[in-house]
Amino acid sequence: MLFTKIWLTVFLTAGFLFAAEIPPAELLALGLREMQALPRFAGKEVTLNFAKAPPLISVETANYTLRAELQSAAPSMYVKYLVYAGEKLLKGFRIKYNAAVWADAYYANRHLAKGEEVTTADFYLRRTDILKYSHYLVESNVSWNERVLTAGLRPDEPLFAWMLSVKQLVNSGDIVALSVNSGSVTIKTAAKALQHGLLGDKIMVQVQNDKKRVLQAEITGSGECQVVL
């Protein structure tokens, strides 16, 4: 009986000698590298912290390889880990993290109306955790050449990428050069734009003749539209 107890103790001790625990710092460092490797976060300050203290992860050998895969990128996110010994998969598990990605983003310094042409002078920069937003924020490397807003902004509201567009080529009320194409025949006339739009947009225009006919035309250039019949 005594021999059995001694043998069991030696067996368990030997088992633990050949096992290893994955340090939490190793898990954290690998998850952070995966975050920093995403093109969207390149060159930005990325922080990652455990949502709660991780459990001890034991593996049967000290010669293991740890791989990680991001399963989401949000303030609360998961990283999937796979532990290998050579090509053999030993185990897999997920750990929840709190993440942040910091960048300088633009905020309106006054009320800005939809369709208004804007420049950097209409905004100020604020260090922002961009993961808190579901849409892409406009960051400090944006080009401001002839930009207009597609939505209004109140003071101190952030500027999202979908709100910023190139300058409109046609504004509502403009008199535009209208080309009406039918086969090999092209008729050119003047029309009044009833809507504003960008290159390639289709807007309603009113032909400037006695009939005042309203047509849908495509914007082909600055002050130019065409209708294909």
Question: pLDDT digit string (tens) for 150-208?
Answer: 889 999 999 998 888 877 788 889 999 999 998 888 999 999 999 988 778 899 999 98
In total, the chain counts a number of residues equal to 229
The pLDDT of residue 73 is 64
Please answer whether residues 57 and 68 qualify as being in contact, where contact means their C-beta atoms are separated by less than 8 angstroms. Answer: no
Tokens representing residue 150 in the block: 């597609």
pLDDT digits (tens, 9 = 90+) for 57-68: 998 888 999 999
Q: Is 101 helix (H, G, I), strand (E, B) or coil?
A: strand
Helix, strand, coil percent content, the chain, rounded in steps of 5: 20, 45, 35
φ, ψ at 5 (rounded to 5°): -65, -45
φ, ψ at 60 (rounded to 5°): -80, -5
> How high is the mean pLDDT of the chain?
86
Please answer whether residues 218 and 202 qualify as being in contact, where contact means their C-beta atoms are separated by less than 8 angstroms. Answer: yes
Q: Where are the alpha helices (DSSP H) in the chain?
A: 2-17, 24-36
The pLDDT of residue 200 is 81
Confidence of residue 11 (pLDDT cuts 50, 70, 90): very low
